[in-house]
Amino acid sequence: MDIFGTLPLWILLSSLLPGLIIFLLKEESIRMRTTLNLFGAVTKIGLIGLMIWGVFHEKTIEVRWEMAPGMEMVLHADALSVLFVSLSAILWLVTTIYAIGYLEGTPHRSRFFGFFSLCVTATVGLALAGNLFTFVIFYELLTLATYPLVAHKGSPKAVRGARIYLAYTMAGGILLLIGAVWLRTIAGPLDFVEGGVLAEMSHLDPWALRWIFLLLIVGLGVKAALVPLHGWLPQAMVAPAPVSALLHAVAVVKAGAFGIVRVVYDVFGVEFASSLNLLPFLGAVAAITIIYGSIKALSQDHLKRRLAYSTVSQVSYIALGTAIVGPLATIGGVVHLVHQGVMKITLFFAAGNYAEKYNVHCVSEMDGIGKVMPATTLSFSIAALGMIGIPPVAGFVSKWYIGVGALEAGQGFWVIPVLLISSLLNAAYFLPILYRAWFKPAKAEWLEEYKKSGHKEMKATLVWPPVITATIAIIIGLFAAAPFSPLEWAQLIASREYRQ
């Protein structure tokens, strides 16, 4: 095994080892902790850069370890995993910077950053998983690593939120496990293969496969917050802002959505899944989730809760794109994995800043906040417009591809209305926020404080992360056709999925 092949292992270790060391650090050794965090995050990005090069040139990048006879832990890099891994690594770096600023002076930071690193390790492992067995392992580890983060504050409300989160994800994990074992038992060790593998196994009972699909999708749907399995998400937003940002953008919710993409494309194969009549079911659930989440978001005054329901809705675009057969819809769904992440993390950073600076938690308290926190609010606005689907921000691109893909597949008659209604609803719950923030008068004491601080919004570690992610959201929207953009990469993935 050459060094190049072992890259996935090093990518895991680049966050696992710093995480383990951080656990042992004293609370006061801030400098050491920060150095380790940033070192890990930057190293990971560097290693992933190498891996992208390798995948583009179709090199085999794979690590295998036998855990039991015929049960191998496989870490494997393909186009889809690279997309998700890069997203996680970049957003992790930004979130780490944000978290360092956000948690300054609060207790138990070593514990926090330790679990934070473990959480990213699990996410990256999930992205690199080369078969369902490995995927299940990291899926469960992700649950374990995020539970302490959700409960971090230790307040009764946080503990309760964490308990609900755990109940949902554990139950989902069991269903996923049963589905995976069942499939493994009847079909043998299935490595993920672009285009799917089950289609060639004609001896398998189609009804067994349907049940397995249902088990897998329900298990994954819990984390992906598909209605009616989404109940934990609004509760889990009691977590500190950086955790919510990570949970909603890359780690948990995205892990579920990524899993759905994997199961449909690389286990069943999208055409085979379609021939079993499984996709209409997935599409219907996704459509209901999209509409339901948006409607619920409308009535939330609490900002983070509104964002949480918005996540419920937005993540299901990925499932929707997956449920439509055809390369264009695939591109739309897959690229939304990245686009939603970048935009949603910006929104949560901004929400965290509002709460931190002026103790603003509710939409009704946000009058005029744009005047005293311009950079934060500008980032928030860009991301919100992107979520609605206004060009040139990234969100437009994904919705466009899903819509065109649906028309191409002859599914336009129901997908286009869903997209339209959802966009209108998005506008209905985001635009009033923007209006309040920019055009309503601000509180006098805010203006006074803003003036007194010499027009300085907040410390740099809190202001820059949303600005950076908002900029990325514009760039990947504007330059979607550039080489190595997420869209280009999604096109590469789609071309490989539909190769046969």
Partner 1 sequence: MMINDAIVWLIAIPLLASLLSLVFPKKGTAIAIAGSILGLLASVALVYQVYQSGPITHELGGWKDGLGIVLRVDAMSALFIVMTMLVVTMVGFYASAYFTDAHKKAQFWPLWLMMVVALIALLASGDLFNLYVTLELLGLSAVGLTALSDNRAAVQAAIRYLGIGLLGSLVFLMGVALIYTAYGVLDLAMLATVVEAEPAAQLALALMTAGLLIKSALFPMHFWLPAAHANAPAPVSAALSALVVKVSVYLIIRLWFDVFSPVLQPTASFMLGVLGALAVVWGSWQALRAERLKLMAAYSTVAQLGYLFIFIPLVMAFPVGEERNTALAAFLLLALTHAFAKSALFLSSGVVLQRAGHDRIAELGGTARALPLTIFVIALAGVALIGLPPSGSFLGKWYLISSAVQTGQWWWIVVIAMGSLLAAGYMFRILGHAFGPDESIGKVMAKGSEEIPALILALTATVVLGFGSAWMWDFVNLASPLAGN
Give the CA distances from residue 170 to residues 99, 118, 144, 309, 352, in Å, rounded to whole numbers and listed in that order: 27, 18, 9, 21, 28
| Helices marked H in 266-393 | 270-275, 279-298, 303-323, 327-358, 369-372, 374-388
**CB closer to partner 1 out of 147 and 380:** 147
**CB closer to partner 1 out of 33 and 184:** 184
**What is the rounded (10 degree) CA torsion for 467, 91, 330, 252?**
-120
In angstroms, the CA 341 to CA 322 distance is 17
Structure tokens at 8: 């996935």
What's the min distance (Å) between Cβ of 178 and partner 1? 6
**CB closer to partner 1 out of 220 and 319:** 220
**CB closer to partner 1 out of 166 and 329:** 166
What's the min distance (Å) between Cβ of 225 and partner 1? 20
Burial 234-259 (b: 16+ CB within 10 A, else e): bbbbbbbbbbbbbbbbbbbbbbbbbb
In angstroms, the CA 243 to CA 150 distance is 7
What's the min distance (Å) between Cβ of 68 and partner 1? 5
What's the min distance (Å) between Cβ of 263 and partner 1? 18
What's the min distance (Å) between Cβ of 235 and partner 1? 14
Query: How far does the chain reach from its first CA to its final CA, in angstroms?
Result: 30
**CB closer to partner 1 out of 155 and 364:** 155
CB atoms within 10 A of CB 397: 27
Residue 137 neighbours by CB under 8 Å, 6+ apart: 73, 125, 129
**CB closer to partner 1 out of 21 and 186:** 186
What's the min distance (Å) between Cβ of 226 and partner 1? 20
What's the min distance (Å) between Cβ of 122 and partner 1? 10
Name the DSSP letter for residue 75. E
Residue numbers at the binding site for partner 1 (CB under 8 A): 65-69, 71, 73, 108, 111, 136-137, 140-141, 144, 147-148, 151, 154-155, 159, 162-163, 166-167, 170-171, 173-175, 177-178, 181-182, 184-186
**CB closer to partner 1 out of 138 and 430:** 138
